[in-house]
Structure 1
């Protein structure tokens, strides 16, 4: 019996096992946000429009009341999550900084953005765009 060393096999990149791609947290978060918005957009046209529009004051309560009045099968949690996702986007803050009308869930004007609300939106946007250390 001869003890000859076994030849070492070198793995080439093609032979190396494929590691599952790590999901980018920002992409996953953005997809979840969009999914929440899409759930309410099925019932209210404002949320399916390409540009963010400032929402009327009290829209959550109006949406919840409409669900109850019409007997729609939309959990209150979906409304809250969808609204939270909609208003926590840069595009929404930018829309607020422009001033003008607020809109109901069907895209109809309902109220105006005050100068104070514009200023608050501008501050939030500045904080958002501020470079992180």
Structure 2
């Protein structure tokens, strides 16, 4: 079971739709279950730093199969720090990404950056709901 490019583009379109509804300019990343980037878009006017946050949060969400915000309270735990270091310090354990499941199987994650933590997560959820 995989996440296709067409799936990823639907997720991104849903996240952009939500961002436009709330008046936010976002960076949206979709990765596969292994945390590898599958698709990315940066809305006009979105801050460039959000591109790193969206991808890092998506990677963390895919790695642990849960919303990246669930990891925030444990972000300084030696195990989580070690995992992040071992993979190259690209994971972000902040709120804004949600995993993508198909028939109970983790197939990827969507991460968003550019708004508040809650806005990021709301946009990611809206995108995933398009599947």
TM-score by length of structure 1 reads 0.29
For CA contacts below 8 A with separation 6 or more, give which structure has more relative contact order. Answer: 2
Higher strand share: 2
Q: Which has the larger radius of gyration?
A: 1
